[in-house]
Structure 1
Amino acid sequence: MAWTGLWMHRIAVSWLAWELTGSAFWVGVVAFCDLAPAVLVSPLAGAVADRADRVRMTMISQTVIGLNAALNATLVATGLMSIGTLLVLETVSGTAASFAQPARQSLMPGLVPRADLPAAVALNSLTFNVARFVGPALAAPIIAIAGVWPAIACNALAYLVATTTTPMLKITAEARRGHPATGSLFGEMIEGLTYAARHPGLGPILGFAAVSAILLRGVQEILPPFVERIFGRGAESLALLTASFGVGALIAGLAIAARGRIAGTTRLAVYGVLMLALATAGFAATGWFAFGIACAALMGAAGSVHGISVQTLAQNASDPSMRGRVLSTWGLITRACPALGALMLGASGEFFGLRWPTLIAVALSLLVVVWGVMRLGRIAEALEGPGIGASGR
Structure 2
Amino acid sequence: MVAWTGLWMQRIAVSWLAWELTGSAFWVGMVAFCDLAPAVFISPLAGAMADRVDRVKLAMWTQVAIALQSALVAGITFSGHMTITILLVLEVIGGVAASFAQPARQTLMPGIVARADLPAAVAANSLCFATARFIGPAIAGPVIAIWGVVPAIAGNAVGYVFACISIWLLRVDPKERQGHPASKSLFGEVVEGLRYAARHPGLGPILLYAALGALLLRGVQEILPPFVERLFGRGAESLAILTACFGVGALCAGLWVASRGRLEGTTRLAVFAGLAQAVATVGFVATSFFPFGMLCAALIGGFASIHGISVQTLIQSATDTTYRGRMLSLWGLITRAFPALGALSLGAAGEFFGLQWPTLVAVALFLGVFAWGVTRLKRMEAELESPPPPPLGDDRC
TM-score by length of 2: 0.98
Aligned to 1:260: 261
Aligned to 2:395: none
Aligned to 1:146: 147
Deviation, structure 1 residue 63: 0.3
Q: 1:13 aligned to 2:9? A: no
Partners of 2:341 and 2:251 in 1: CA distance? 26
Q: 1:329 aligned to 2:343? A: no
Greater alpha carbon shift after TM alignment, 231-240 vs 372-381: 372-381
Partners of 1:128 and 1:58 in 2: CA distance? 17
SS at match of 2:101: helix
CA deviation profile, 1:225-263 (whole Å, cap 9, x unmatched): 000001000000000000000000000000000011111
Aligned to 1:119: 120
Deviation, structure 1 residue 386: 3.8
Structural RMSD (CA): 0.9
Q: Are the counterparts in 2 of residues 318 and 388 from structure 1 also a CA contact under 8 Å?
A: no
Q: 1:250 aligned to 2:251? A: yes
CA deviation profile, 1:316-351 (whole Å, cap 9, x unmatched): 110000000000000000000000000000000000
Deviation, structure 1 residue 390: 6.1
Partners of 1:130 and 1:54 in 2: CA distance? 25
Rate the CA distance shift 1:181–1:298 in 2: closer, same or farther, 3 A: same
Partners of 1:364 and 1:202 in 2: CA distance? 22
Instruction: Report sequence identity in percent.
Output: 67
Aligned to 1:194: 195
The one-letter code matched in structure 2 to 1:356 is W
Q: Are the counterparts in 2 of residues 50 and 321 from structure 1 also a CA contact under 8 Å?
A: yes
Q: Which runs of structure 2 are paired with 1:130-209 in the superposition (5 Å)?
A: 130-209=131-210
Q: Are the counterparts in 1 of residues 115 and 390 from structure 2 also a CA contact under 8 Å?
A: no
Deviation, structure 1 residue 185: 0.7
Partners of 1:293 and 1:236 in 2: CA distance? 13
Aligned to 1:53: 54
Deviation, structure 1 residue 388: 6.2
Q: Which runs of structure 2 are paired with 1:268-307 in the superposition (5 Å)?
A: 268-307=269-308
Q: Which runs of structure 2 are paired with 1:226-245 in the superposition (5 Å)?
A: 226-245=227-246
Q: Are the counterparts in 2 of residues 4 and 155 from structure 1 also a CA contact under 8 Å?
A: yes
The one-letter code matched in structure 2 to 1:28 is G
Partners of 1:81 and 1:386 in 2: CA distance? 50
Partners of 2:246 and 2:68 in 1: CA distance? 28
Aligned to 1:38: 39
Deviation, structure 1 residue 169: 0.4
SS at match of 1:88: helix
Partners of 1:111 and 1:236 in 2: CA distance? 39
Query: Number of matched residues?
Result: 391
Deviation, structure 1 residue 375: 1.2
Aligned to 2:97: 96
Q: Are the counterparts in 1 of residues 5 and 136 from structure 2 also a CA contact under 8 Å?
A: yes
Q: Structure 1: where are the runs of 5+ without partners?
A: none
Partners of 1:25 and 1:388 in 2: CA distance? 48
The one-letter code matched in structure 2 to 1:34 is D
SS at match of 1:181: coil
Q: Which runs of structure 2 are paired with 1:346-385 in the superposition (5 Å)?
A: 346-385=347-386
Partners of 2:232 and 2:22 in 1: CA distance? 19
Aligned to 1:65: 66
The one-letter code matched in structure 2 to 1:50 is D
Partners of 1:174 and 1:80 in 2: CA distance? 48
Q: Structure 2: where are the runs of 5+ without partners?
A: 393-397
Partners of 1:370 and 1:195 in 2: CA distance? 25
Partners of 1:196 and 1:5 in 2: CA distance? 33
The one-letter code matched in structure 2 to 1:218 is G
Deviation, structure 1 residue 389: 7.9
Shift >4 Å, 4+ stretches: 388-391
Deviation, structure 1 residue 367: 1.1
Partners of 1:23 and 1:312 in 2: CA distance? 38
Partners of 2:276 and 2:159 in 1: CA distance? 33
CA deviation profile, 1:257-300 (whole Å, cap 9, x unmatched): 00111110000000010010000000011111000000000000
Partners of 1:83 and 1:376 in 2: CA distance? 44
CA deviation profile, 1:193-227 (whole Å, cap 9, x unmatched): 11011100000000000011000001000000000
SS at match of 2:171: coil
Partners of 2:350 and 2:319 in 1: CA distance? 39
SS at match of 1:183: coil
The one-letter code matched in structure 1 to 2:193 is G
